[in-house]
């Protein structure tokens, strides 16, 4: 700045940044000037041409007037407006894309759809106290086993207080744990630990009957006014029964009670009297029990023997299968058509009422309460399908599908396809299938079908659409034990954990409630878990593949071929490049499968996994896929050419979805 000639170091009066000067000079006026003059000078400064400011760049601490002047210039205003509208457009686009993704995305799968269901028979799983019987603490000790199998859904067979005439299915107290299995505190600790580890607990629930030691029955037989009609009673005497109805376990369904002087109905053992589900008070009791366990945090129920919950009130004789058979020889359930004791009108109303009571507990995210029903309807598959409910009224998430239990009856690919199609072709549109190959009432796979078929049956179970159910021990290929008694116990032997005493089932004493199978040193979890080619290793691989690959959980299921040996099908998803072909040999001899007529398949096919591990990675021409008896192949191939559009009658999907490969999302299509 210029200085006075006198050598003064003060600023000259000719400072050109008047805004800066105005900020410094507020109330002090130069000599011989007035406030009015200051105002006039300020107004004249505001009228200075913009070119004045062009000589000075913006600087930190500039006054408001200068800042506003610069910000109104085009070179600052235009970029600012562009950024603003760009932000608005991006925000709106993001909102629109989010709404579109939500609207177009298929519903998320539930935990009961993603994971297999694993049935634990508590007496035989793990003994923690050395009494020879498995218990709840034993299950808690072995939760890591479920993680190693990538299983999240655990169904535990009954552990209610019970006289154990039917191993827990005769319930003395629906709100208590039998001391044989532990205490209520043990149950609560088990449940908390399961939830901590991301596991779900499904309880067995028995609404059809109780034990004859239940408080309700003792009050009913003495004609207590509140409980008189809690069970199904009819006039009779010790020799003359009300009708010809026969129990599941044989002989008359009626037992005379001397205390009451009437007969009570029991469709199972005489120690399991049927509850009168037509009585609203009984239904309320059952609903209260459902609330009791749901409030404790259980994740679902397996409803036992539901088709028996109602009986015809007229009590007429049921028609005989063989009309010429003498009535006194009608002693088994197979001798009668059960027109009046199963699947009666009103049954599904009761189950839907149960379901409605469970729904409020499912409102919290991640806390869905699952319901599955058990009903053996044999050739009357349409009756089983009714447990799915209707499009308007929800019932069970699915009824158990027991048809694959009949696989050992006929070792062929055609038979396997027939049993699968029996369910798929009758299942209501949009419903979720499920598959069972073993349980506590049926012989183990290795004993009924043979050891060589364990791997291929597990492969079928884990690659079909829907939820698989595995009975404890089937993941390692356990067999029935050899006991001579006429019972259902051969398939209930202690779980084989390792090669130690009692197969690791009881490490404290040399006691087991049933004998351990003699093959436990070679067939156990410890031996198989890291052994490639073992039953457990293959089970784990297939289950991980099922949960990791979208075509298995979301994709189409299509029949490809079935003959005397081979059952072949594929799993594919629209938009997903990878698809899977299963070639399963259920026959008794080796086979070469020619799929050259299937144009959607590539000419060369590489085996991802074989139940014979030496064939892993092997490449076949599609005209000559070779399998040994009891061998199963999972073949992965890459193509965007889909099979299902040109074979619509051979393909099924629960809910159609497509995959957008570029961004990796699913959408409705």
Which residues are catalytically annotated?
304, 374
State the Cα torsion 471-268-174-309 to the nearest 10°.
100
State both tokens at 518.
Answer: 């003699």
Number of Cβ within a 10 Å radius of residue 242 = 19
Question: Who's near 178: CB < 8 A, 6+ residues apart?
Answer: 159, 160, 161, 162, 164, 168
Residue 9 exposed, middle or buried by CB count within 10 Å (0-12, 13-18, 19+): exposed
Q: Which of 441, 519, 447, 491 has the alpha carbon at shortest distance from 124?
A: 491
3 state DSSP class of 556: strand
**Separation between Cα atoms, residue 303 and residue 206, nearest integer Å:** 6
* The total number of residues written for the chain in this structure: 669
Q: Work out whether strand 467-471 and strand 556-562 pair parallel, antiparallel, or are unpaired.
A: unpaired
Phi, psi of 99 (to 5 degrees): -60, -40
Residue 618 exposed, middle or buried by CB count within 10 Å (0-12, 13-18, 19+): middle
Contact 399, 374 (CB under 8 A): yes
Give the C-alpha distances (Å, rounded to integers) separating 214 from 160, 161, 210: 12, 10, 7
Contact 384, 377 (CB under 8 A): yes
**Separation between Cα atoms, residue 581 and residue 187, nearest integer Å:** 43
**Separation between Cα atoms, residue 252 and residue 581, nearest integer Å:** 51
The alpha-carbon radius of gyration of the chain (Å, integer) is 37
Q: Which of 376, 453, 467 has the alpha carbon at shortest distance from 413?
A: 453
Q: What is the crossing angle of helices 535-548 and 454-463, to 10°? A: 10
**Separation between Cα atoms, residue 299 and residue 203, nearest integer Å:** 8
**Separation between Cα atoms, residue 227 and residue 489, nearest integer Å:** 35
Residue 54 exposed, middle or buried by CB count within 10 Å (0-12, 13-18, 19+): exposed
Q: Which helix (H) or strand (E) holds 592?
A: strand 591-593
Q: Which of 299, 314, 435, 315 has the alpha carbon at shortest distance from 369?
A: 299
Question: Who's near 383: CB < 8 A, 6+ residues apart?
Answer: 307, 343, 375, 377
Instruction: Report the DSSP beta bridge partners of residue 257.
Output: 262
Q: What is the DSSP letter of 246?
A: B
3 state DSSP class of 407: helix
Question: What distance lies between CA 350 and its chain's CA centroid?
Answer: 24
Q: Which helix (H) or strand (E) holds 633?
A: strand 632-638
State both tokens at 8.
Answer: 């003064």
What is the per-residue DSSP string for 184-211? HHHHHHHHHHHHHTT-EEEEEE--SB--
Instruction: Report the DSSP beta bridge partners of residue 469.
Output: 117, 436
Q: Which of 136, 119, 368, 174 has the alpha carbon at shortest distance from 290?
A: 174
């Amino acid at each position: 700045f210029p200085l006075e000639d006198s050598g003064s170091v003060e600023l000259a009066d000719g400072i050109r940044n008047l805004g800066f000067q105005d900020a410094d000079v507020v109330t002090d006026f130069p000599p011989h000037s007035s406030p009015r003059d200051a105002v006039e000078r300020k107004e004249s400064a505001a009228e200075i041409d913009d070119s004045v400011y062009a000589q000075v760049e913006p600087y930190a601490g500039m006054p408001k007037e200068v800042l506003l002047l610069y910000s109104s210039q085009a070179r600052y205003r235009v970029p600012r407006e562009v950024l603003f509208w760009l932000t608005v457009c991006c925000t709106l686009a993001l909102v629109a894309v989010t709404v579109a993704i939500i609207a177009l995305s298929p519903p998320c799968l539930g935990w009961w759809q993603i994971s297999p269901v694993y049935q634990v028979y508590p007496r035989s799983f793990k003994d923690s106290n050395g009494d020879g019987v498995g218990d709840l603490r034993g299950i808690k000790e072995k939760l890591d086993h479920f993680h190693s199998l990538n299983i999240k859904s655990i169904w535990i067979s009954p552990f209610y207080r019970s006289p154990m005439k039917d191993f827990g299915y005769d319930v003395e107290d629906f709100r208590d744990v039998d001391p044989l299995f532990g205490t209520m505190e043990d149950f609560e600790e088990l449940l908390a630990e399961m939830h901590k580890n991301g596991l779900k607990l499904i309880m067995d629930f028995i609404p059809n009957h109780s034990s004859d030691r239940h408080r309700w029955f003792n009050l009913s037989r003495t004609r207590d006014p509140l409980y008189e009609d809690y069970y199904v009673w009819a006039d009779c005497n010790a020799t003359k029964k009300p009708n010809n109805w026969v129990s599941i376990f044989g002989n008359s369904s009626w037992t005379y009670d001397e205390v009451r002087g009437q007969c009570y109905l029991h469709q199972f053992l005489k120690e399991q009297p049927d509850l009168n589900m037509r009585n609203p008070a009984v239904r309320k009791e059952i609903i209260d029990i459902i609330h009791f366990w749901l409030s404790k945090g259980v994740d679902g129920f397996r409803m036992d023997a539901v088709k028996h919950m109602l009986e015809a009130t007229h009590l007429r004789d049921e028609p005989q299968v063989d009309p010429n058979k003498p009535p006194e020889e009608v002693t088994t359930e197979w001798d009668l058509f059960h027109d009046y004791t199963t699947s009666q009108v009103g049954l599904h109303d009761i189950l839907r009422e149960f379901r409605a009571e469970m729904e409020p507990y499912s409102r919290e995210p991640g806390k869905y309460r699952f319901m599955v029903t058990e009903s053996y309807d044999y050739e009357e598959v349409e009756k089983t399908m009714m447990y799915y409910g209707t499009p308007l009224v929800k019932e069970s998430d699915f009824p158990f599908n027991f048809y694959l239990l009949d696989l050992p009856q006929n070792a062929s690919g055609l038979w396997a396809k027939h049993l699968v199609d029996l369910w798929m072709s009758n299942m209501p549109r949009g419903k979720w299938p499920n598959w069972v190959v073993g349980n506590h009432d049926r012989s183990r796979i290795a004993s009924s079908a043979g050891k060589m078929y364990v791997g291929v049956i597990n492969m079928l179970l884990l690659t079909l659409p829907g939820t698989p159910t595995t009975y404890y021990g089937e993941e390692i290929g356990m067999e029935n034990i050899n006991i001579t008694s006429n019972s259902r116990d051969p398939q209930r032997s202690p779980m084989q954990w390792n090669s130690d005493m009692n197969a690791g089932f009881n490490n404290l004493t040399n006691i087991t409630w049933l004998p351990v199978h003699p093959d436990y040193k070679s067939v156990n979890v410890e031996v198989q878990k890291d052994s490639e080619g073992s039953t457990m290793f293959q089970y784990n691989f297939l289950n991980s593949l099922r949960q990791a690959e979208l075509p298995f959980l979301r994709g189409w299921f299509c029949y490809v071929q079935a003959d005397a040996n081979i059952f072949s099908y594929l799993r594919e998803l629209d938009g997903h490049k990878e698809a899977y072909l299963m070639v399963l040999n259920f026959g008794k001899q080796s086979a070469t499968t020619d799929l050259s007529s299937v144009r959607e398949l590539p000419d060369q096919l590489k085996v991802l996994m074989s139940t014979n591990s030496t064939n892993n990675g092997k490449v076949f021409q599609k005209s000559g896929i070779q399998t040994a008896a009891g061998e199963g192949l999972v073949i992965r191939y890459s193509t965007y050419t889909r099979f299902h559009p040109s074979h619509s009658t051979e393909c099924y999907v629960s809910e159609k979805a497509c995959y957008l490969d570029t961004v990796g999302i699913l959408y409705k299509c």
